[in-house]
Amino acid sequence: MKIMLIAIIAFLNSCASKTEFESKTINGISHSGKIVSIDLKLKKATVLIFLSSTCPCSDSHVSIVKSLSKKFTDFQFVGVHSNYNEDKGKAAEYFKEKDFSFPIIYDAETVIAKKFGALKTPHVFILNNQSEIIYNGSVTDSANAQTAKEQFLEKALVEISNGLTPSTPRKKTLGCYIALKE
């Protein structure tokens, strides 16, 4: 009984820690070697999206994410590439070709992915100015953006823009699993 209680407390503590990011900045390096430092207080909220250079699910959502970053200018968008097993050179070419208007952090050691508990690409986290995760989940309701019927990320951004908390703060992620370093 005592062991079970300890396990439950440990589980609850691990869940609680994933709802708040303990830092006020996210730091990393881009594929080109440029230092990226994201101040989470800079805009209304920060949209952190985990992307892959080889995942068709991630690729199918690129145009939606790029469009949302232009539409919601009071939000700060940041991409994170955490698949350590993807060729760095090819990934750098891919992200350059996609011409994102926001920085892409190369998370070579998968530290950021582990810290947030990112599972798949694309996987989105929206953090408010207090570094609290207020949305965790998918961009849409489909692994293929072209067949999506619901736009989860856009709905959350509209709600936040209107001063509301996202009505659905968590959605199941759909896509390719992130290859995490041990």
Q: List the CATH number of the domain containing 143.
A: 3.40.30.10
- Packing angle, helices 62-71 and 152-161, rounded to 10: 10
Closest CA to 69 of 100, 39, 90, 113: 100
Q: Is residue 121 part of a domain?
A: yes
- Our count of domains for the chain comes to 1
Joined tokens for residue 4: 């079970």
Residue 172 included in any domain: yes
Residue 146 lies in a domain: yes
Residue 4 lies in a domain: no
The reported pLDDT for the residue numbered 22 is 56
Q: Residue 25: its pLDDT value, please?
A: 74
Is position 91 within any domain? yes
Across the chain, the runs of DSSP E, i.e. the strands, are: 25-29, 35-39, 45-51, 75-81, 104-106, 120-121, 123-128, 133-137, 176-177
- pLDDT (0 to 100) of residue 179: 93
pTM for the predicted model, two decimal places: 0.84
Alpha carbon distance 160, 132 (integer Å): 13
How far apart are alpha carbons 111 and 74 in whole angstroms? Answer: 27
Please tell me the predicted confidence (pLDDT) of residue 41.
80
Residue 144, burial from CB neighbour count under 10 angstroms (0-12, 13-18, 19+): middle
Answer yes or no: is 43 within a domain: yes
In a domain, 1, yes or no: no
Assigned domain for 136 exists: yes
The tally of CA atoms less than 13 A away on the side-chain side of residue 177 is: 3
Which residues pair with residue 60 across a beta bridge? none
Angle at 90 (CA atoms; ends 86, 93), nearest 5 degrees:
135
Residue-wise pLDDT tens for the chain (182 aa)?
Answer: 433 333 333 333 333 333 345 567 777 777 778 888 887 787 889 999 999 999 999 999 999 999 999 999 999 999 999 998 999 999 999 999 999 999 999 998 999 999 999 999 999 999 998 889 999 999 999 999 999 999 999 999 999 999 999 999 999 999 999 999 88
For residues 122 and 139, what is the distance between their CA atoms, to the nearest angstrom? 7
Closest CA to 101 of 127, 69, 63: 69
Domain that holds residue 40: 21-177
